[in-house]
Structure 1
Amino acid sequence: MSSKRAASGAGVAISLFSGAGGLDLGVEDAGYQVRAAVERDEDAATTMEKNFLTLPGPVIRSNILDVPTQDILKAAGLRGKARPDLLVGGPPCTPFSKSGFWLEWKRKGLDPDASLLQAYTRVLREACPKKFILENVYALTYNNLASKTAYERLLSEIDDAGYDCVAKVLHAADYGVPQARPRLFVIGAKKGNPIPQHPEPTHGGRWERRATGDSNRPHVTSGEALDGLICDPEPGEIVNGKYGALLPEIPPGDNYLYYTAERGHPEPKFGWRSRFWSFLLKLDPDRPSPTIQAQPGPNIGPFHWENRRLRVPELRRLFTFPDWFEFVGKRGSVQAQLGNSVPPLLAQRVAESIRDL
Structure 2
Amino acid sequence: MTGELTVGLLGAGMIAGVHAHAYRDSPGVRLAAVADTVRGKAERIADRHGAKVVPDLYALLDLGVDVVDICTPPTAHADATIAALRAGRHVLCEKPITRTMDEARRVLAAADAAPGLLSIGQVARYGPDHRLARDLAASGEIGLVRMLSHSTTTSLPGWSEGGWLADPATSGGPLLDQAVHSFDYARWVIGSPAVRVHCMAADSDAGALTYTLTTVRYENGAIAHIECSWAHPASRGFKLRAEITGTDGQLSWDYDHMIGGVLHAHDGDSEWWDVLGDREFTHELSAFFQACRDGGPPPVPAVEAVESLRTALAALESARTGQTIDLIRWEL
- More helix by proportion, 1 or 2? 2
Return the TM-score normalized by structure 1: 0.41
- More strand by proportion, 1 or 2? 2
Return the TM-score normalized by structure 2: 0.43
Larger Rg, first or second structure (1 or 2) = 1
